Amino acid sequence: MLVIGPACVRLLDEPPECYDTIDCEGGYQCLEGVCGCPTGEELCDGRCVDTRFDRSHCGKCGSVCKGQCSAGKCGCPTGFTLCADGCLDIKSNLANCGACGTACTGFGGCVDGSCVPCSEGQEECFGSCVDLATDQLNCGGCDQPCNDAECVGGVCRCSSGQRRCNGFCVDITQNEEHCGECDKRCPEGASCGAGYCLCPVGEIQCGSVCADTYADSDHCGNCDRACPMGKKCSFGACVDA
């Protein structure tokens, strides 16, 4: 290996320092038998980066750019200003209206860098002007979503025949999780019909399960009538196993 200036050059009769990048340590790459970084790049945090365009290493290692990194300098496109959150249009950004950090709290919008109030009949919710009487995401108040219901007069309303359960509209006449009323769950294997939990033919509901009282040793002949150890249920009666 021959050192010329800041670079290392491998002599023709010298064995290569590496055959593949896996042979190099510290994040360097294998370039023509020598471990290093490509021309124009340098090693930063264990990898070769081009500090002219890398936002995490803009101009030098560790120099973070929240805007655009170009020619090693951090900046923003025309019409945008570099703020703590990145490149922003301060003419319309509610949190940075007219200048970085100037928030339009209590206002409905930012127009040409000035905070403006909401129109009559609207309220400000999270930086936007909304009609609380009809807004699906802010029905009757900010951050009160209707999900699959419709916001009418500030109240989430489900379609005819449905009821609102846990924020969603369901048909309680046939929903196994809300059968007849919200949160009334049918036993496993049962179905919901006309608002009632229906067990398969030959079974009845015993608590939270459907049981065949003719053969179920835990519900033999009737719900919660368990057969003693060593017995089994046959035609609704406990017999020797």
Which of 102, 106, 149, 145 minimizes the C-alpha distance to 125?
A: 106
8 Å CB contact between 113 and 91 = yes
Average pLDDT, the chain: 89
Cα 194 to Cα 191: distance, rounded to the nearest angstrom: 10
Cα 89 to Cα 77: distance, rounded to the nearest angstrom: 10
Q: If you search the block for the tokens 């936002």, which residue do you land on?
A: 55
Cα 61 to Cα 41: distance, rounded to the nearest angstrom: 11
Tens-digit pLDDT profile for residues 159-211? 888 999 998 999 999 999 999 999 999 998 899 999 999 999 999 999 889 99
Phi (first) and psi of residue 145, to 5 degrees: -75, 150
User: What does the chain come to in residues?
Assistant: 241
Tens-digit pLDDT profile for residues 82-103? 998 899 999 989 889 999 999 8
Contacts of 5 (CB under 8 A, 6+ apart): none
Cα 156 to Cα 141: distance, rounded to the nearest angstrom: 11
DSSP 178-215: SSSSTT-PPPBT-EEETTEEEPPTT-EEETTEEE-TTT
Cα 10 to Cα 175: distance, rounded to the nearest angstrom: 75
Helix, strand and coil content of the chain, in percent to the nearest 5, comes to: 0, 30, 65
Contacts of 99 (CB under 8 A, 6+ apart): 90, 113
Q: How many CB atoms lie within 10 A of CB 44?
A: 19
Mean pLDDT value across residues 49-64: 93
The domain locations on the chain are 2-36, 76-116, 158-198, 199-241
Contacts of 123 (CB under 8 A, 6+ apart): 129, 130, 131, 132, 138, 142
DSSP 72: T
Q: What is the pTM of this model?
A: 0.46
Tens-digit pLDDT profile for residues 119-167? 888 888 877 788 999 999 999 999 999 999 999 999 999 988 899 999 8
CA 11 to chain centre: 55
